[in-house]
Structure 1
Amino acid sequence: MKILHTADWHLGKRLDRFSRLEEQVSVMNKIVEIADEQKVDIVIVAGDLFDNFNPSVDAVELFYKTLKRLSNNGKRPIIAIAGNHDSPNLIDAPDPLARECGIILIGHPHAKVQEFELENFKILNSQEGFLELKLNQFEYPIRVIHTAYANEVRLKQYFGEEKEKALNDTLAAHWKSIADEFCDENGVNILTTHLYMNKRGALLLEEPEGEKPIKIGNADMVYSDAIPNQIQYTALGHLHGFRNIGTEEKPVVYSSSPLCYSFSEAGQTKYVSVIDAKPNDKVSFEKIELKAGRQLVRKSFDNVDETVAWLTHNPNTLVELSIESDSYLKAADRKRIFQSHDGIIYLIPKVKNFENQKTDIVEIDITKDLEPLFVDYFKSKNANQEPNEDLVDLFKEIQKE
């Protein structure tokens, strides 16, 4: 049985003011192509389907279209769970219609999916947090323990544990109870969840820059030793870099986001994971690179001409640009830079040796008009440098308000 594991789509996400929707369309197409080329039997999407609780119409449309294509007209079951960026109710809402296409949407961690049957597969058993599916082409079933994201308090409320009890122990007991009852050696056994999970004793894994943090202290830490022994592969979501925090025999995998979504991810290669699994045997998995979207780059220059030359020769990038110079950038230079490239997300000007520059104390004449007073004040705070035209124009706009 082949399983495709992907996560952290963040559909609708922007990079500052810059829309990523066109890139997301491209990378969703790539994921569908991989599923078809690899002849995948089932797809798991491990949370953060959208970037916020109220996604745009375009993001929602891309989500449904992608899942429908991945499902191959209902022949390939899809299991998609909510992450910390998703509204559980929004994810759950279309489930009755989605099931007609073989798509199982799970918004809450204690969800019990309604049993149904299609031409190519059926749900044999559904409990809170558990599914057992039988695909026609296999003699054995696949079991999926699923825990969509919820915060620590809600998770403990769902599972009926004492609030003082560590989240790790709560989930470990819950997962073990399900696995002991339903996950024997006669089927493929998978766990999928969207939580911050790490290997006990390992260095803390950095959450993505700009990501809503899950880990606050250690009370809500979940360790990989909470995973039941019966589980052959754990499909995680939340961290945006591909990594296996489990073992070769029993992988515990963050499959990565499909695109670089912050400059802390600049240079990362993105993947999906394709797993080969059969009952009572160790799985094998292959990480398949996703080649789509614009590359995120952090660049530093000390010369405007070199900056413009690099930008002109690297148009298919999104750039965080730092320019160090002897004085503040002139408005004409800023205009040249932005006209040379449409993907400059941040422009960070730096003045060389700013701290060491000495200026004479200038007495400010408070009888002047506001605009020259602003210029004098700016010069007094910035090593006698004149404010550029953009700043002066902004000051004039503020005056008008």
Structure 2
Amino acid sequence: MRVLHTSDWHLGSSLAGKKRYDEEEAFLNWLISIIDRECIETLIVAGDIFDSGTPSNRALELYYRFLGRAGKTCCRHILITAGNHDSPTLLTAPQELLSALDIHVVGSIPLAAEDEVFIFTNIDNEPDLVVCAVPFLRDRDIRTAEAGESIEEKRCRLLAGIGNHYTQVCGIAELHRERLGKNLPILATGHLFAAGGCTVADDGVRDLAVGNLMQVSTSAFPACIDYLALGHLHQPQIVGGEPSRRYSGSPFMMGFGESDRCKEVLIVDISPEMPVYVTPVIVPRFRDLVQIHGDANYIRDKLGELIFSGRPAWLEILLEDTGAGPSVRDELYRIAEGSAIEVLKVKLIDPDTGTITSSHDQESLEELSPDEVFKRCLDEANEPEENREELIAAYHEVLAEIQEGD
């Protein structure tokens, strides 16, 4: 079975107030070409299809148009599992219709764990792959809250609940394999923060549960899993040193902190006879995100080079603050006018400490994460450092309840 693993499309996302529909459409068109070129038989999308639980009509149009086109390719099976950004209700609403087209959607834990396990067939309609379609596991689905429990107790119960769920679902997969009398490989999905996972600044990853405490040990995943297709972290990476347990990462640079990173989708060749073989495919950059850091003369030179290249790019400028900030900032915006370069942010940076001293425009809430807003409220209230860890943890609990309210 030749599988394509991708995740974290975040359709409908924006950067500094700019929607990214043209990039998203270009990526989905490219993905169709990869499915055809590489003879992909199964497509796995491991969560965060949309950037919001209430996606725009344009984002929905991109999604359904892609599914319609993918159904006409050589790809026989499509599996979509929900992430923490997705609305389970919205994703699963057309489930019955999509399943008739071999498009399977798992938005949340079903009433019967058997409904998370699928048998995918080969071109001869013979069973070829067992799939454990595990979506983002919400707190309320895997843990019973208890009065007076500490943060550590909650964390332990959440981790135990995740491990128990994978054990149950993979046990069902093994029973299917025994019933069929074939040594079929088992593929499992997940949308979570695995222990040891890597993030970078400004990559758009939203904390799960109680901050970054929710890091799931690799021991939570049963040994019978031949390939683990993960979503949530936006950097492509191997989990726990096991090449068959991977994040595909997001196909787009989610922020300027990722401007030097390559993005991937993963082709997974999986069969009973051979070890799993994974081939990363680099995703083209449909628009460059560029971050320039330096003094005014250096930035003028770099801006000139970028404009001369003619390649479209969104730009964040980190201008070393040497006293001539406002006039230089206005000049940099003027230089880029009429070119393929669009300056989205200009920030003044203290050349000695590297800290931001001010931005050209007043920031909007859309540019800030909920965490950043809360931490600024703590700063504004002059909250002592010793109180912050507990307040931030309590805030994350409330935020998780709101985000998981679907």
> TM class by shorter-chain length?
0.7 to 0.9
| Residue 127 (1) aligns with residue 120 (2) | no
Aligned partners of 2:88, 2:282: CA distance in 1, in Å?
29
Query: Which region of structure 1 is more displaced relative to structure 2, 99-108 or 64-73?
Result: 64-73
Query: Which region of structure 1 is more displaced relative to structure 2, 74-83 or 342-351?
Result: 342-351
Match of 1:140 in 2: 127
CA contact (8 A) 2:230 2:247 kept: yes
Match of 2:225 in 1: 231
Find the residue that maps to 2:133 and give its secondary structure. strand
Match of 1:187 in 2: 184
CA contact (8 A) 1:133 1:142 kept: yes
Label 1:167 to 1:207 Cα distance change in 2 as closer, same or farther (>3 A): farther
Label 1:191 to 1:139 Cα distance change in 2 as closer, same or farther (>3 A): same
CA shift, 1:178, in A, is: 3.0
Provide the aligned length of Structure 1 versus Structure 2.
338
CA contact (8 A) 2:5 2:229 kept: yes
Label 1:169 to 1:66 Cα distance change in 2 as closer, same or farther (>3 A): same
Alignment of 1:164-175 (within 5 A): 165-175=156-166
Match of 1:277 in 2: 270
Match of 2:31 in 1: 31
CA shift, 1:75, in A, is: 5.5
CA contact (8 A) 1:326 1:351 kept: no
Q: Which runs of 5+ in 2 are unaligned?
A: 146-152, 363-406
The normalised TM-score by structure 2 is 0.74
Label 1:176 to 1:297 Cα distance change in 2 as closer, same or farther (>3 A): same
Match of 2:337 in 1: 339
Aligned partners of 2:273, 2:201: CA distance in 1, in Å?
35
Aligned partners of 1:4, 1:38: CA distance in 2, in Å?
9
Aligned partners of 2:23, 2:75: CA distance in 1, in Å?
27
Match of 2:326 in 1: 329
| Residue 312 (1) aligns with residue 307 (2) | yes
Match of 2:381 in 1: none
Normalized per residue, the structure richer in helix is: 2
RMSD: 3.1
CA shift, 1:152, in A, is: 2.5
Give 1 or 2 for the bigger CA radius of gyration.
1
Aligned partners of 2:300, 2:186: CA distance in 1, in Å?
58
CA shift, 1:182, in A, is: 2.9
Find the residue that maps to 2:159 and give its secondary structure. helix
Query: Which runs of 4 or more aligned residues in structure 1 lie more than 4 Å from their structure 2 counterparts after TM superposition?
Result: 162-165, 350-354
Query: Which region of structure 1 is more displaced relative to structure 2, 60-69 or 173-182?
Result: 173-182
CA contact (8 A) 2:46 2:82 kept: yes
Label 1:96 to 1:208 Cα distance change in 2 as closer, same or farther (>3 A): farther
Q: Which runs of 5+ in 1 are unaligned?
A: 113-125, 355-381, 383-387, 392-401
Find the residue that maps to 2:100 and give its secondary structure. helix
Label 1:10 to 1:307 Cα distance change in 2 as closer, same or farther (>3 A): same
Alignment of 1:38-117 (within 5 A): 38-72=38-72, 76-110=76-110
Q: Which amino acid aligns with 1:216?
A: V
Aligned partners of 1:74, 1:155: CA distance in 2, in Å?
37
Alignment of 1:2-13 (within 5 A): 2-13=2-13
Aligned partners of 2:155, 2:251: CA distance in 1, in Å?
37
Identity within the alignment, % = 27
Deviations 1:138-169 (A, max 9, x none): 633321112211333333259xxx96853332
Deviations 1:163-197 (A, max 9, x none): 68533322222222332343246212110011111
Aligned partners of 2:222, 2:214: CA distance in 1, in Å?
19
Out of 153, 156, 178, the position equivalent to 2:169 is 178
Label 1:152 to 1:16 Cα distance change in 2 as closer, same or farther (>3 A): same
| Residue 14 (1) aligns with residue 5 (2) | no
